[in-house]
A and B are shown apart, each in its own frame.
Chain A
């Protein structure tokens, strides 16, 4: 705790979170360390891989490029906030499972959030729109085959 720490309050997955943080603390580190929500992963910390994607007031953002203090007053949704109670999978999560859209799982939370944001904005994307929307998330295991199919499955379900 430092004298120049800044008070921040935000709503994370429906819960109010308050803390005093350094101005330079990223939103990703805030979520992982202050909120113990470790589903948000850091794969590059320079805004390319998309593993740290969260919803900030409904928009998909890279939480490694946002400072926690920038989320003051915002509504943040992480991968932990997208499933149902008792571990039930969301339609997007369920589709990724059904289509083998994950292997090691490290990039997966970012894809879950990006796909959720895509379908909220465009409930019926075509293949090109799906691939464009996912181009900000890197997966090294699946070759994107199951991920693209999962979006199609989620659309039709």
Chain B
């Protein structure tokens, strides 16, 4: 690790080992499938094996007759109960979206769509019963190819919506942009395809729902990133008042966006539990997760750059198309608006425009996956290399020529977005220095000329809008900081940590703010009952927003503690400071009172409190984030392409990033690494494939290839710490690793292939694709 730590505190800025680890390492975590309730029954779904068709018959009699089966529910049993209920997420209730429904009703719209819900004594029996359900479907032509979906006015995914176009945005194009895209000295165009992928949390989705008729209470355990949103959604769907709904998600085995909103199956199980009055458990299996949870990333973009002969960008335009599938959870699932306005990225681009369309198809729905709009970085960074080659400038120098420099900040983009405390130029130089860019260029040329070896280097440079405060309720988090009579502290957050180390990092923040020991602070989260309403965990928002709330609540607690201490010590609160579990007179450390003594007085000895002060020592505070807190990073990697097999090996991988003040550098680097490897998977291996009838062909881990330890390089880090304007100076960084890596790896492969004049435009760059590219531009090795 290189770089500087400008603001390391006693706990903030330290690589404190994680609170979460001991229970998870010893098998004592509490994931949803680990919960067993008395009398609990098990759910399995009968799913469509047809992408588009009319349901002509559903016969559940044989299934109902099976020993151990308690109920077999169809759409007739469930759907009418939620006809006037919004199944979409609360914050998107008024936005366009797919016509969600619990079970398929009358027709099916993708392979994997749930048709029948079976309830049995065990999962084994429930699956036996699923095999006994007979469903007849009259197959209809499926809309599978997203590039042709918009033009298909005959076959509609959602007949009630009247079109396969889910979104079409085309902001007016500035006449000057039109002119430079015609007349510039260099006008370069290329089209890139990114393939369908999915999040692959190692723990698939799961839910337990228990409705207690006697008191009308609904208790739900769910694998979720967002317990308070789940609570709202369950209250609506089950028709149970929100105050009687409790949602718990203690340990959550990854999500990466998949579990940010509440899935259709989870809500259907909750509804069934309400109808049957029995505790139900549904644990998704991997096949279901791969074909029916959510998909992501299926995009096409045609980028056009107008470039001056000296390499200066004059204007850029992106024509973007994305696939929403059939039933995205979260509006349309479309990200194109963000893709468009973020397309200029960290560069000085005077003129920019875009057109984006999203289409419905008879495939699994699109949802957020770590950096949901990241195609802006894919299209831009891949195009930067294409344009650099077209004008004969090295890709690093081309970026140097155009990247926004420190002296130009704040810089407002053509779309009115203002970059402030970012360092794209600095991270570009730091990453290039760490990897030894110039030395690699020499070695690359030598290896090619002497041995015919194909190696390449690629860059992915981006700015990332994190912790976005422009859309409620994602803008705001709340924290309750509660000091116990002993002085020990609990921090209550509405977060849904699923690997982010929140139990550790937020304890670091509060311990720092209160000047007490890290071990004296515990974080309570993943449960709606003991926590204030919160935004959940996602969108790279915890450090800034939950952290801001922790600081705000800590400040209130601290102020009261200082008032009490000042009263007891006959000093002025302004003269006191908190550190090491003591409140001391600044400059006279021998005059102090223990933090625990103040806490004791606050709870147990009101006579010691200042006149008029009430007992207790706790505070709940909220923090609303500014519209955008930008972070930024530069990824550079080197690869070797084996000419005989088409296999790509990543040799070195460097990330230089600026997420402001790091709360826990170990956690920061862990988040980066996870994202980078997901992106390597996206660039080289992962591909959800459908045949032309809409049948998914990659429904196991033998077909959907996520990276293992043998495919990944050692990741090297550089840090630039430029504080943001938010409390603590943090910036979000959970998603960035997955944003920068796909184009970085793509560019490195393209750079290697360019040695022999071969080109690639789509991912994944597996052996077949690479061999195809090599064959189509065969040049004998020198």
For residues 101 through 157 of chain A, which have their beta carbon under 8 Å from a beta carbon of chain B?
A: 102-109, 112, 130-132, 134-148
- Chain A contacts for B670, CB-based, 8 A: 100, 103, 141-142, 145-146
**Nearest chain A CB to B242's CB is how many angstroms away?**
28
Q: Indicate if B643 sits at the interface (CB-CB under 8 A).
A: no
Give the CA-CA distance A137 to B500 in the complex, in Å: 21
Choose from A46, A98, A105, A140 the contact partner of B286 (Cβ within 8 Å): A46
For residues 82 through 106 of chain A, which have their beta carbon under 8 Å from a beta carbon of chain B?
A: 82-83, 87, 89, 93, 96-98, 100, 102-106
Q: Indicate if B217 sits at the interface (CB-CB under 8 A).
A: no
The stretch of B51-59, B161-169, B452-460, B707-715 that contacts the partner chain: B707-715
Contact yes or no, B673 A143, CB < 8 A: yes
Q: Indicate if B24 sits at the interface (CB-CB under 8 A).
A: yes
Give the CA-CA distance A72 to B669 in the complex, in Å: 45
- Chain A contacts for B498, CB-based, 8 A: 104
- Chain A contacts for B25, CB-based, 8 A: 79, 83, 89, 93, 96-97, 102, 105, 108, 112
Contact yes or no, A138 B499, CB < 8 A: no
Contact yes or no, B202 A102, CB < 8 A: no
Choose from A39, A48, A98 the contact partner of B26 (Cβ within 8 Å): A39
Q: Indicate if B124 sits at the interface (CB-CB under 8 A).
A: yes
Closest to B664 in A: A100
Which among B25, B28, B256, B667 has the highest number of chain A CB atoms within 10 Å? B25
Q: Indicate if B666 sits at the interface (CB-CB under 8 A).
A: yes
User: What mask results when residues 55 to 89 of chain A are scored 1 for a CB within 8 Å of chain B, else 0?
Assistant: 00000000000000000000000111011000101
Closest to B678 in A: A140
User: What mask results when residues 11 to 26 of chain B are scored 1 for a CB within 8 Å of chain A, else 0?
Assistant: 0000001101110111
Q: Indicate if B252 sits at the interface (CB-CB under 8 A).
A: yes
Contact yes or no, A104 B715, CB < 8 A: no
- Chain B contacts for A45, CB-based, 8 A: 285-286
- Chain A contacts for B676, CB-based, 8 A: 143
For residues 498 through 520 of chain B, which have their beta carbon under 8 Å from a beta carbon of chain A?
A: 498-501
Contact yes or no, B709 A105, CB < 8 A: no
Give the CA-CA distance A36 to B33 in the complex, in Å: 11
Choose from A44, A96, A137 the contact partner of B21 (Cβ within 8 Å): A96
- Chain A contacts for B737, CB-based, 8 A: 143
Given A48-B701, A143-B673: A43 in contact with B27 (beta carbons within 8 A): no
Contact yes or no, A105 B499, CB < 8 A: yes
Give the CA-CA distance A44 to B669 in the complex, in Å: 28
Closest to B681 in A: A140
Contact yes or no, A141 B499, CB < 8 A: yes
Main secondary structure of the interface of B (DSSP, over half): loop
- Chain B contacts for A138, CB-based, 8 A: 202, 701, 706, 708
Contact yes or no, A109 B674, CB < 8 A: no
Q: Indicate if B700 sits at the interface (CB-CB under 8 A).
A: yes
- Chain B contacts for A24, CB-based, 8 A: 124
Choose from B27, B706, B712 the contact partner of A40 (Cβ within 8 Å): B27
- Chain A contacts for B26, CB-based, 8 A: 39, 79-80, 82-83, 87, 89, 93
Contact yes or no, B27 A78, CB < 8 A: yes
Contact yes or no, B22 A97, CB < 8 A: yes
Main secondary structure of the interface of A (DSSP, over half): loop
Contact yes or no, B701 A49, CB < 8 A: yes
Contact yes or no, B286 A51, CB < 8 A: no
Choose from B17, B34, B678 the contact partner of A97 (Cβ within 8 Å): B17
Choose from B31, B499, B706 the contact partner of A103 (Cβ within 8 Å): B499
Q: Indicate if B532 sits at the interface (CB-CB under 8 A).
A: no
Give the CA-CA distance A98 to B15 in the complex, in Å: 10
Contact yes or no, B251 A103, CB < 8 A: no
**Nearest chain B CB to A94's CB is how many angstroms away?**
8
Choose from A22, A87, A105, A107 the contact partner of B251 (Cβ within 8 Å): A105
For residues 734 through 760 of chain B, which have their beta carbon under 8 Å from a beta carbon of chain A?
A: 737
Contact yes or no, B202 A143, CB < 8 A: no
- Chain A contacts for B500, CB-based, 8 A: 103
Contact yes or no, A145 B22, CB < 8 A: no
Give the CA-CA distance A79 to B707 in the complex, in Å: 24
Contact yes or no, B674 A143, CB < 8 A: yes
- Chain A contacts for B24, CB-based, 8 A: 102, 105, 108
Closest to B285 in A: A45
Choose from A37, A100, A130, A137 the contact partner of B18 (Cβ within 8 Å): A100
**Nearest chain A CB to B288's CB is how many angstroms away?**
11
- Chain B contacts for A108, CB-based, 8 A: 24-25
Q: Indicate if B29 sits at the interface (CB-CB under 8 A).
A: yes
**Nearest chain B CB to A36's CB is how many angstroms away?**
8
Closest to B123 in A: A29
Closest to B679 in A: A143
Q: Indicate if B254 sits at the interface (CB-CB under 8 A).
A: yes
Q: Indicate if B677 sits at the interface (CB-CB under 8 A).
A: yes
Contact yes or no, A46 B202, CB < 8 A: no
- Chain B contacts for A135, CB-based, 8 A: 708-710
For residues 5 through 45 of chain A, which have their beta carbon under 8 Å from a beta carbon of chain B?
A: 22, 24-25, 32, 36-45
Contact yes or no, B674 A131, CB < 8 A: no
**Nearest chain A CB to B368's CB is how many angstroms away?**
15
Give the CA-CA distance A86 to B36 in the complex, in Å: 24
- Chain B contacts for A78, CB-based, 8 A: 27
Contact yes or no, B27 A79, CB < 8 A: yes
Contact yes or no, B714 A145, CB < 8 A: yes
Contact yes or no, A49 B202, CB < 8 A: yes
Give the CA-CA distance A134 to B204 in the complex, in Å: 21
Give the CA-CA distance A134 to B710 in the complex, in Å: 8
- Chain A contacts for B710, CB-based, 8 A: 131-132, 134-135
Q: Indicate if B702 sits at the interface (CB-CB under 8 A).
A: yes
Given A97-B22, A98-B17, A103-B501: A41 in contact with B709 (beta carbons within 8 A): no
Choose from B671, B708, B715 the contact partner of A134 (Cβ within 8 Å): B708
- Chain A contacts for B201, CB-based, 8 A: 104, 106, 140
Closest to B200 in A: A140
Beyond contacts A140-B678, A142-B674, A145-B669: 14 other A-B pairs, Cβ-Cβ < 8 A, are: A79-B25, A79-B26, A80-B27, A93-B25, A97-B22, A100-B670, A105-B251, A105-B499, A106-B31, A140-B256, A141-B254, A143-B677, A143-B678, A144-B677
21 example contacts (A-B, Cβ-Cβ < 8 A) are as follows: A22-B124, A43-B204, A43-B286, A45-B286, A46-B701, A46-B702, A48-B701, A93-B25, A96-B25, A97-B17, A97-B25, A100-B670, A103-B670, A105-B20, A107-B253, A135-B709, A141-B499, A143-B707, A145-B673, A146-B670, A146-B673
